[in-house]
Structure 1
Amino acid sequence: TQPKPRANPHAGGGRPPPTTMPGDASTAAAALAQAEADLSAGRLLAAQRQARRAARLDPDSAAASVLLAATSVLLADAGCPRATLLLPEDPKSSLASDPDAVRRHYKSLSRSLRPDDGASSYPAAAAAAQEALRRAADAYAALKDERDAPPPPPTFWTACAGCRLLHEFDRQYVGFRLTCPSCRRTFLGSEVPPPPPPKKHKAEKTLAEMQLQLAKRRGKDHKVPQSSSSDEYDEPAESEVQEEDLVSDHSGQMTVEDSDFYNFDADRVEKCFKRGQVWALYGDDDGMPRHYALVEMASPGRQFRAQIRWLEHQPDGKEGKPCGSFKVGREAMVHSVNVFSHLVACERVAREKYRVYPKKGSVWALHAGEYADTGRPKYDFVVFLSGYSNVHGISFGYLDKVEGFRSIFTRREIGVHAIQYLREGDVGMLSHQTPAKKVSKGESSALPPGDCWELDPASLPAELLHA
């Protein structure tokens, strides 16, 4: 047998086919040069297109692959670590839940972002790769922290009874009296259905899409007859339409009924405010209405505005004391009725001086310590049976909550001690006045015998409402 002839390595049949033609390599180099110019001018999308073209023409070009990876990272959403790391959005993907797979992907991405020795020829591309590498490292660290962090506490959605806006709180506060972050009014944290997810809008439109939208709008303009009257139809802007949709979607979910019978909110609508009135406002500490203000101007309507002047307690000038002499103080502008609780029955003793004490038939809260489990203030509620006198003080009777109702109270029967007296030195026991309405016995057969009052739930602590 004769030995087989060895193949000549320099012959055409033994040489692997070239991956890049000479003409393609020069075109790829030109594309990289154009990408470098686009990067220097801040045109990331254009640079990415040129890098993709160079990688297609010359698959062996390390500079093209580095630039393509760098522009992909820089164009990703910087606020989303998964997008910055170029991870797939599919939740079923192994990269969505496997930490080891994510780590291997990050290492591979980091290697692809490290420029080779020829990076000096493309300084802008090298700088872009360094920035992309930094962002990828930050995104991977954020993803690790997010994975290692303890699960967030359960939350619930609730709606402010005043401004009707939805808010999310920790679930441990269900049933507590909360302060609305928008209007600062306190309300009962009752759970409501969560809002629907926001609609996603495309961030960019192509020229064809813009022309199509413009043609549709022109078609609408031709269909709407023009009128010379003042009631001419104006097409709302896109942002206005979205806002109206948001209101209509949530308006049915945001009504929170606190009271059993009487609607106390009807006593503090925009048309109720007049110049010269003194109103009680909710405080920031526990949300009870123990601040007073004089209304100097009220502008009702959609854009409610009220110019007020705070009443400062005399002689110390402090706010938040419910009884005594008050002097008109600093000015403020209020843009929401939801910070107001009720009209104050006060006595004007001088041009800018007022006197506030409980009136006969009014219901007030007395300080009664704190709740042992929450540490929140505890109150006793009383109805005053006479007016205040510096000599004799004022008489009152304690109120107890009626079982089966949230805010219905009746007189406490304690024999000869049914009537108590508050002397001049005991006025500091008063916390705040609570709006109240006497309940007619015809409204519910479950009411006990004797007089009953319904108290405004906005001026009651949450612990008492759920007791």
Structure 2
Amino acid sequence: MECNKDEAIRAKTIAEKKLSNKDYAGSKKFVLKAQTLYPGLDGISQMLTTLDVYIASESKVGGEIDWYGVLGAKPNDDDETIKKHYRKLALMLHPDKNKSIGADGAFKLLSEAWGLLSDKSKRLAYNQKRNMTTRGFNVKVPTQSGGPPPAANGVHNFAKQAPTKPVVRPPPPPPPAVSRRNDTFWTICHACKMHYEYLNLYLNHTLLCPNCHQPFLAKEMPPPSNYKSTAPKTTAAAQNTGPSLVRVNTDPSTVSKAASVIQKVNDRLKREREEFYSGWPSKKRKSDDESQPSGVRIPYQMSTGNGVPAGTGSLYGASIKNSVNRTRELNYFELRNMLTKKARTEICRKLKEWESEEKMKENNVSQNSQTEDEQDGEQSAMNVPDPDFHEFDLDRTEDSFEDNQVWAAYDDDDGMPRFYALIHKVISRKPFKVKLSWLNSKTTAEFGSLSWLDCGFRKSLGEFRIGRHEVNKSLNSFSQKVEWKKSPRGSVLILPRKGQVWALYRNWSRDWNENTPDDVIHKYDMVQVLEDYNEEQGVPVSPLIKYVGFRTVFHAHTYETEVKVITKEEMFRFSHQVPKYVLTGSEAHNSPKGCLELDPAATPMDLILESTGKTNESSQQR
């Protein structure tokens, strides 16, 4: 079983390398192999989940990422099911729980998918675009079976048409056979009489006509008689059929944005229509839909020139004087057309009102986010005692940063500077903004076979790789500028050098693991490096002793027997580098010349508060 575990670890290592190179399919192949060899291998299931998200994100639908695939959901799942998928994956991919390579990127993809699919309007627009791209399209055909032809601008001009005598016409020929799709239906806009073919999901919904921009109820109607195409996906230009058959790409955002407004307006129009009917005598209505009467008898008057008859009362804003004592029937569509013209003004006004409200909300959210960021910054800040003599903050101002420098940054464990960042470019100093890459490493092979990173510890020296570029604006995140050199392979080398001050883990052991208590780990000794690191001989260090009477002043040990040599296999005993300042004696009347003052922001608090209980003379006589 142990041999299987070794093979599984090797397969996982290969999978991590392929994941770093964005070969997700190849990486998943080795992850599955590792899982088969040793199912209980640590982190294997989390890595598999990470890969599934990346593989799903490579699938494109209509030029966009398949967000349903990222969540492992289906387009017809309800909101609760979508939410369950998100919660399950969020627990697996959260950076605090998942330490595998690429987990942070997979979690960002998951969050982006949830942000889109949890918003009803965004999800509706995404579904419409997805369905139009993958399954169907809209076709509009102007009706030619009766009624006037469209004018030059595509709008029917009913007002200018002269009345004609009834003409007896022969019955139209039967429509030709049309190859119908199973997932679409035909409907007609009652305002401009244009036919459309939509997907079934829009059946019995109120839509905006792409031609006249009037709202209409999408009820299933027979296809137009002049629609002869048997290949719906062929455009008019390809078939050379002229304007009678064209493709219309309805903007999904228009439908989703106006849907709620149109619904409210329809309810209001219904109430007004019922009130209007109650005040006029009408014939017995015969209609399949009781809410849509076939006609109403109203006083007839000559047209006002815009297609709306005058003398219809205050409801239509027209005068009733000079009316003729004649009556005629107005059908439902003419009445609805008049009402919708009034509603258009209401819709436009409401949309502008909502737009202004959204802008106000965005401004409030921006201000609240800024306030929260300031509060978070205050809460995450650490209380650091003042130094005795030297002001270390002057060594890390905006003017201290230059291109191609490596800076140490504080970590989130105990606040010590164990992160490193390569500064590519200083974009601006005031305000502070730099382009940088965080340094990272996935191996500790340069110091032997100890799996230091696998135990959950951070690597503070050795060979580091340069990560992706990003912009950073947080000046207080950085501790000090560190010395570095570039390796032949292009990586960054950070090793102890002569004269530097480092903190050593006091109780360090090769047996430390993720179960080692924090109170055992976070105990340190301060040392000064005597010679540069040598791979064969290691690095010699001398302990530093707290100078009595001061908080941050230390002096070197005087006995050569106290010098320690840290071998290559024990290099992970170095916790972090500490900024220092050599006192000259001119800082104050009591400043001890030649001693070292250490930066309190990188010195553990127990060492700052620690007192040896001895005099300076006794310490120097040891």
With the shorter chain as reference, the TM-score category is 0.3 to 0.5
TM-score by length of 1: 0.43
Structure number with bigger Rg: 2
Which gives a bigger RCO, structure 1 or 2 (Cα 8 Å, sep 6+)? 1
TM-score by length of 2: 0.33
